[in-house]
């Protein structure tokens, strides 16, 4: 393991008792996650689970017409590859790297073997799956009932929670694809947030200047997702240590 990288940079792996992590630590492979890299395509066999450390992966659903929207994001709080331990092995959505960085990759048989031991990893992954379902449900409600400006605030806050940097490398086209809206709608929403002094936008970069302003503008969806994730993982962490 590199001195700059550690499995404990992923919150799920960090929540495991050291003895349990040691059982499969040698099989964790550090991999680079370049922006735009496709981890899974719909209907294909999933071969690895990914535990992001400094990257963020977007779970997308793409329609027949080519339109898409993000159903959930996964960063250092989670794992990409939930179908592998829920019995599905395939997924109807795609998984694409939204923010470049690194992750630890675990081969599917190794994950399933450790999950089937019915130890702390199983409890942790099932709790995370519940939190992920909450995020997906909240995204569906948010995309249907809240303004693009509120959705953008929610999305920026969740992204900021997963990466420590204040400036994100992100085009408006990519943000529009994540939210499932027109690029012009993102341009308008970002313009309002910039006029208010909450963000600074220049081509391909979004810098967050005033986080509290974004929190005030965001709908309740951000708080619901964050609270549920914190509740589930704090419970597991306390019971594992």
In this predicted model, what pLDDT tens digit does every residue of 204-218 receive, in sequence order?
788 888 889 999 888
Q: Are residues 54 and 132 in the same domain?
A: yes
In this predicted model, what pLDDT tens digit does every residue of 45-55 receive, in sequence order?
889 999 999 99
Q: Are residues 205 and 136 in the same domain?
A: no
Q: Are residues 184 and 213 in the same domain?
A: yes
Report if residue 178 sits inside a domain: yes
Q: Are residues 129 and 207 in the same domain?
A: no
In this predicted model, what pLDDT tens digit does every residue of 74-121 receive, in sequence order?
999 999 999 999 877 777 788 999 889 999 999 999 999 999 988 899
Range of the domain at 164: 147-218
Residue 112 buriedness (CB in 10 A; 0-12 / 13-18 / 19+)? middle
195, two tokens: 């006029």
Report if residue 179 sits inside a domain: yes
Question: How does the average pLDDT of the chain come out, rounded?
Answer: 85
Q: Are residues 57 and 125 in the same domain?
A: yes
Q: Are residues 151 and 131 in the same domain?
A: no
Name the most confidently modeled range: 66-75, 140-149, 182-191: 182-191
Number of domains in the chain: 2
User: What is the rounded CA–CA span in Å between residue 186 and residue 193?
Assistant: 11
Q: Give per-residue burial for 194-228: e unless 16+ CB within 10 Å, then b.
A: beeebbebeeeebebeeeebbeebbbebbebbbeb
Specify the CATH number for the domain of residue 197.
1.10.10.10
């Amino acid at each position: 393991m590199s001195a700059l990288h550690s499995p404990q940079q992923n919150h799920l792996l960090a929540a495991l008792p050291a003895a349990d992590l040691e059982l499969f630590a040698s099989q964790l492979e550090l991999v680079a996650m370049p922006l735009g890299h496709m981890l899974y395509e719909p209907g294909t066999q999933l071969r690895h689970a990914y535990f992001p450390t400094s990257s963020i992966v977007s779970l997308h659903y793409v329609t027949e017409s080519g339109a898409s929207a993000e159903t959930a994001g996964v960063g250092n709080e989670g794992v990409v590859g939930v179908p592998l331990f829920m019995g599905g092995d395939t997924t109807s959505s795609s998984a694409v790297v939204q923010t470049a960085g690194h992750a630890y990759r675990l081969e599917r048989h190794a994950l399933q073997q450790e999950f089937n031991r019915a130890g702390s990893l199983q409890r942790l992954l099932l709790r995370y799956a519940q939190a992920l379902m909450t995020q997906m449900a909240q995204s569906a409600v948010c995309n249907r009932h809240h303004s693009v400006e509120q959705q953008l605030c929610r999305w920026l806050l969740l992204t900021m929670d997963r990466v420590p940097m204040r400036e994100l490398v992100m085009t408006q086209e990519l943000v529009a694809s994540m939210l499932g809206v027109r690029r012009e709608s993102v341009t308008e929403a970002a313009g309002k947030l910039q006029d208010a002094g909450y963000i600074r936008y220049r081509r391909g970069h979004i810098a967050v200047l005033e986080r509290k302003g974004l929190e005030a503008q965001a709908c309740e969806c951000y708080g619901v997702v964050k609270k549920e994730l914190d509740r589930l993982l704090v419970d597991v962490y306390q019971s594992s240590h």
